[in-house]
Structure 1
């Protein structure tokens, strides 16, 4: 699974390529007014995603016919890397995309005319800082070798954890590596600690008795999260349909809560895995309903979480800080 690795729009420009997977929910049953603002016939929404289970409720919505029920058509294109989906959105090849919250801030600061319209998911225990024997807390990382993927969600989590311990990156020895190699390096004693995510967290814990979690995304609610961004021209031209797309997500979240195994099977298939391989990963992710969104996008996510994330993003050089986090959100499509 790729994991929402931030990248600048300039760097993404060479990666505009849509993968073969497409999932379509066909319109229309006439239940709602889904025409465009100018009265023209509605086309399918072009949505970009990646094989990360946090975006998986869209697969449930398609499989269960919730798009059709809501009178909308959505074509989902899955991309292999963040750079690809970012570039496609920047080039106007997508109407909307599922991205990390930090990537949304970066888009907007770099001038991409999009808004955050919905909070999709957040990691709890699915992202974690692991450490070997003799390291019991983040405070103990001073002077230690710490492996993590730079410019990714792992760096965001580590930056916030270090700040809470009164440390920064100059107090540790940074060992750049991919998320999938953190656990092997830790188990081999090549590093003292590392930051990664599921399923690598559980694999590391199962492989070494001395390995433990010293801090996780659960300690920083909402920090590691994903959002749906939509091009503002689409929001202006097709507001009713956008509302119905979001409602289909909500239908999928409710279905998955009532039918856990079936929902997980659909999502695992969508991201190219088997349900049993992702059990711990599912357990470490929370999907947000529209009711939760209505509270969070006008409350703690708007006032606390997103500004805190923006501060961390500035600290690690992802953004300069010129974007007002609150101005990136448009919660008017969440319904009542």
Structure 2
């Protein structure tokens, strides 16, 4: 009898224990106009930080490192960065498209400089595939190769300083650095509108985090698409909220969005569901490998995870 009572007491006490609280989904990004709708959702109070924690890092290189070391479950990255991480053994799945660069990624040169003037010049670029892809395309358009210029590795948070100080003559960059450099007299020599479909930003999650964080992922996407609608319907108000984070004027923020396309949920669902994303990734992976941007061939099979886009 006593043993039964003790057993009953243990069961009752166990039932009184508080339910285990799931750890928040840690989502990393660098500063980029295409990722701002996620931060806008947080600003508008639609993103519960107990469920999703946004981690902003100085560069995409650091976001990639954090994903490699397991310090993030998810990241906002370019498609080529996702392929680079998969080639290094990081099991990433793409759960949504974020933007297509259609002019927002640029090669900026000094006042009066033209694309044909790059021979012998110092060009700053972040050591990422996007930087390499844009620089490669710009040099090809100018009839040059990397042997004709001096490539200077510069992290994205140092682009403006490197250009301002004269350490580089031109720099491959993107918003918000693009607007800052143009305001100081820089000129666009080449931009991503000339290589359509080559620079795509996505939201990727480690495959081993999907089962544990499915609820947080659904919450993140719901808040993101709600903020995306707000940005489209209340552009001025949204740009005013975004501007302080990017240290730009609201007008400059609104103008920046002319250089990218923000796909709605339906387009993400279509691309991830019908194989389009994996086909584009396969083509990009082949290009990257042939140009020495991937250490080894990488498969795009199983890259897309469309189930959160219902």
**Global fold match (TM > 0.5):** yes
Normalised by the length of structure 2, the TM-score is 0.75
TM-superposition CA deviations, 1:267-296 (whole Å, max 9, x none): 334456553554443332332321121233
Counterpart for residue 286 of structure 1: 261
| Secondary structure, aligned partner of 1:151 | coil
Q: Does the CA-based 8 Å contact 2:100-2:261 persist in structure 1? A: yes
Counterpart for residue 306 of structure 2: 331
Counterpart for residue 149 of structure 1: 125
Counterpart of 2:149 (choices 132, 157, 173) is: 173
Q: Does the CA-based 8 Å contact 1:59-1:270 persist in structure 2? A: no
**Are residues 1:195 and 2:195 paired?**
no
Q: Does the CA-based 8 Å contact 1:115-1:328 persist in structure 2? A: yes
Counterpart for residue 159 of structure 1: 136
| Secondary structure, aligned partner of 2:93 | strand
Counterpart for residue 62 of structure 1: 42
What is the Cα deviation at residue 256 of structure 1? 0.8
TM-superposition CA deviations, 1:97-128 (whole Å, max 9, x none): 22232221111111112212112123222222
Q: Distance in 2 between the 1:322 and 1:173 partners? A: 28
Normalised by the length of structure 1, the TM-score is 0.70
- Which runs of no fewer than 5 residues in structure 1 stay unpaired? 1-38
| Secondary structure, aligned partner of 1:325 | coil
Q: Does the CA-based 8 Å contact 1:182-1:196 persist in structure 2? A: no
Matched residues, number: 286
- Which runs of no fewer than 5 residues in structure 2 stay unpaired? 1-18
Structure 2 CA distance for partners of 1:134 and 1:251, relative to 1, 3 Å: closer
Q: Does the CA-based 8 Å contact 1:54-1:121 persist in structure 2? A: yes
Mapping 1:109-128, distance limit 5 Å? 109-128=87-106
Mapping 1:303-314, distance limit 5 Å? 303-304=279-280, 306-314=281-289
Q: Does the CA-based 8 Å contact 1:72-1:241 persist in structure 2? A: no
TM-superposition CA deviations, 1:35-70 (whole Å, max 9, x none): xxxx975442222223333211112222333345xx
Q: Distance in 2 between the 1:91 and 1:135 partners? A: 42
Greater share of residues in helix: 2
